[in-house]
Chain A
Amino acid sequence: MKKNIGLLIVVLLVVATIGTYVKQQIDKDREIETASLGKEMEERKIGLKNGDTPPDFTLTSLDGEDVTLSELRGKKVVLNFWATWCPPCKAEMPHMQNYYEQNAKKDNVEIIAVNLTEAERDVTEDAKIDSVMTFRESFDLTFPILLDQKNSAGLAYQVITIPTTYFIDSNGYIQRAIRGPMNAEMLKSYVDAMD
């Protein structure tokens, strides 16, 4: 008799799995139907949720160039928020650099690392920028690093934990926000999963 209990659970599992799958497929079909009804007129919604258009900003990079987020449309954008004193940011930087060197061109990706300069732990503005400069040199980073000296982007993106990374597709929609560090493998799989 006992033999049947385990088998029974397995059969129930199979039934539950297939049932859930069928339901998922039906829901998906319905979603597509309703989406196709009223999508054309829809305007871009500015926000931080998946599918929203992220708040635009123009910040100056460490090399003195102005970078505007919306001008990067057409490329996939990995928008990373970080600070020099943050251990997980340090852990992920070499991975981002590796990814940038090996895959960014091929995958049509731009990495934008916004340094939360206002939150840097130096007293003067110049000292803060120096810290970021030293950090970039020590990790040999080649992707653009933007300085958010007034915490405007940090506020607009409600960055509370760092690192926080937004994945923005080539049409300029947020596909995903990741809190916590990523390695090169994760970064690649996130990028591959978006259009």
Chain B
Amino acid sequence: MNNTEWFSIRTLTLPATAVALLVAFFIVWLVIRVQFSKKWAGVYGDAVFTFILVWKFSVIVTDFKAVIAQPFALLYFNGGTIGVFLGGMAASLQLWWKRKKIHFDETGIVACSWAIILTQSSYQWLVVLLNDNQTNSEVITLLVLSTLTVLILWKITAINRALFLYTFGLMIVAFFQPLGLWQPAVGVSVILLIVGIGIQRLAGVTKSFGGKE
């Protein structure tokens, strides 16, 4: 989706896509908190926090010269699209490093798939609501992702199947969006798919280890 709106709080101007992402984070945190336990909402919150920090400060990497010349740039700008990928990867790595401490059990895996799917869906829904794009791409985004999300969360229990199906669905939706298949949302979706499957594998391993002991 093209960003067509911006929100200003005094001198801070955020594109509608960033606002959509922040609101989506909050909604999903709330759903996880209600559906699962405080622990999983906390894990989600940590990942989100890492994502936001890395996205914001990755301007050091994406525009090193400007930050050295004008350290203020760090305050005003963020890492843009590259920053989104760096943030996503940092959050994934953090989950990997902390895998022992977090200890993903069966609830954890389900919470993880809910988080992955819902964050993307809520973000897409909000982007549609906050911006003004072609009606057909907006309608396709809303309908396909709504059906897919409810269906998956309701009926499908195998996380890898759920995530594959979701990312595939998102790609179809992206194909009809103005930015097409090659947009950051699709790339991030693939990263999240890998994370989700990794976590499931991980839990499978700890489980069988537990069985042997």
Contact = CB atoms under 8 A, between A and B. Distances in A.
Interface string B135-170: 100100010001001100110000000000000000
A90 interface: yes
Nearest to B76: A181
Interface string B12-32: 110100000000000100111
B69 A94 contact: yes
Given A2-B35, A10-B118, A13-B27, A180 B13 contact: yes
Contact of A189 (B11, B15, B30, B31): B15
Chain A binding site: helix, strand, loop or mixed by DSSP? Answer: helix
Contacts, number: 100
A17 B118 contact: no
Interface string A163-195: 000000000000010111111011001101100
Interface of B: 2-4, 6, 8, 10-13, 15, 27, 30-32, 34-36, 63, 66, 69-70, 72-73, 75-77, 80-81, 114, 118, 122, 125-126, 128-129, 135, 138, 142, 146, 149-150, 153-154
18 contacts: A7-B153, A7-B154, A9-B34, A10-B31, A10-B153, A14-B146, A17-B128, A17-B146, A21-B128, A87-B72, A90-B70, A91-B70, A91-B75, A91-B76, A92-B76, A94-B66, A95-B66, A161-B11
